[in-house]
Amino acid sequence: MPDAQTVHVAGLADSAQVQAGNALMMANPYRPWPARITSITRLTATEKLFEFRLVDERIREAFHHEPGQFVEVSIFGVGEAPISISGSPTKSGFIELCVRRAGEFTQRLHEMQCGDIVGIRGPYGRPFPYEDMKGHDILLVAGGLGIAPLRSLINNIHDERSEFGNVTIIYGSRNPSEVMFRDQFEMWRHRKDFNLILTVDEPDDTWDGEVGLVTAPFAGLEVDAGNTYGAVCGPPVMYRFVVEEMRKKGISYDHIYMSFERHMKCGMGKCGHCQIGHQYCCIDGPVFNYWEAKNIQGSM
């Protein structure tokens, strides 16, 4: 019987050779690249914002993301998890991820310190149509952890604020202690160029924002429907109600964008875990417009 051939699966050992970052990343797309934790900010009792910096300069320079994309994060020996990018592309060189402690992987990540190293591959997924959104009014609705992917879009808009019309952000949380990025949003509440509406289901004595579901503020909202893009992210049950409110305001199906949550295990349209109907959330999404979502069985 003939001997087995050995096939070197590229992109694992050859990182010492000089190659362009993109070529390195594509040589073996399953290979995570070391990234060092450069900052950790506690947001709530269960959420932290991690900032990472890719160690290899070639990979760092080749890494470009757009709002709405995600990365696969590795803790070797524990596994890999898809996490949406919370930072704006304008903050190049760093990858910000907002992580809720919810399972073994995220528990381990929460135990890590600045200087610790994880693996990162990506970015993956179809982003929000950021360039198309320029020149338009923006209506963003986030529920709970849905703020994580939307913050990338929010911060990108912030950094290029003059490119956009009116910007309204409705962000709903269960209670005041679960409001993330509170420092940032507290400052923004006094700004004239952002209409920021924070709402909670269960207020406490300190809460001076709105009370109720994220759909409640729509009642008093004036929307220039023909000139507005909507962006939505939140728990699964939220989408249907929010997009219907946006439809009632007259926003076109294809101007309402949603970022869906699924378990993207490979990120490359193969493993099947993130399938929604005939679409792969990882490569066809995670951002879909309402028209596309209506045409996907089981999307909402």
Partner 1 sequence: MLYRVMDASELPRLIDAFMEKYEVVAPVKSGRSFAFEPVSSFDEIVLDYPTTLTSLKKYILPPRETLFEFNVEDADVTDYTLRIRPRVLFGAHACDINALNNLDLVFEDARYPDPYYEAHRAATMVVGINCSPAGSCFCHLLDADEVRSGYDLFLQDLGGRYLVSIGSVEAANILEAACDLREATDEDRREFRRLTRERQEAFSNDIPDIQEIPMLMDAFHKDAFWAELGERCLSCTACSAVCPTCYCFDIADVLDPDGKTGRRERILDACTSPQFALVTGGHNFRETARDRVRHRMYHKLNGFNSKHGRYLCVGCGRCVRACKADISPIEVLRFFERKGAEDA
Judged by beta carbon, residue 149 or residue 217, the one nearer partner 1 is 149
The Cα 237–Cα 170 span in angstroms is 17
Q: Which residue has the tokens 């579901």?
A: 213
Phi, psi of 130 (to 5 degrees): -55, -45
Give the pairing of strands 167-173 and 195-200: parallel
> What Rg do the C-alpha atoms of the chain give, in angstroms?
20
- In this structure, what token pair is assigned to residue 275? 């399938």
State yes or no: residue 236 binds partner 1 (CB under 8 A).
Answer: yes
User: Residue 130: which of 217, 213, 47, 231 has the closest Cα?
Assistant: 231
Q: Which is nearer to partner 1, 34 or 165 (CB)?
A: 34
248: contact with partner 1 by CB under 8 A: no
Contact with partner 1 (CB under 8 A): which of 161, 174, 263, 294?
263
Q: Which of residues 151-190 bind partner 1 (CB under 8 A)?
A: none
CB 30 within 8 A of CB 14: no
Shortest distance in whole angstroms from residue 17 CB to partner 1 = 13
Among 19, 21, 22, 28, binds partner 1 (CB under 8 A): 28
The single residue among 147, 150, 266, 293 that binds partner 1, judged by CB under 8 A, is 266
Nearest residue to 141 via CA among 65, 50, 210: 210
The answer to whether 119 contacts partner 1 (rule: CB under 8 A) is yes
User: 100 forms bridges with which residues in the sheet?
Assistant: 47
Contact call for residue 209 and partner 1 (CB under 8 A): no
Query: Should residue 276 be labelled a site residue for partner 1 when binding is judged by CB under 8 A?
Result: yes
Q: Are 239 and 289 in contact (CB under 8 A)?
A: no
Binding flag, residue 118, partner 1 (CB under 8 A): yes
- Give the shortest CB-174-to-partner 1 separation in angstroms: 13
197/181 Cα distance (integer angstroms): 14
Nearest approach in angstroms of CB 246 to partner 1 is: 23
Q: Please report how close the Cβ of residue 170 comes to partner 1 at its closest, in angstroms.
A: 22
Using CB under 8 A, list all residues that contact partner 1. Answer: 1-13, 27-32, 34, 74-81, 100, 102-103, 105-106, 116-119, 235-236, 261-263, 265-266, 268-273, 275-278, 283, 297-298
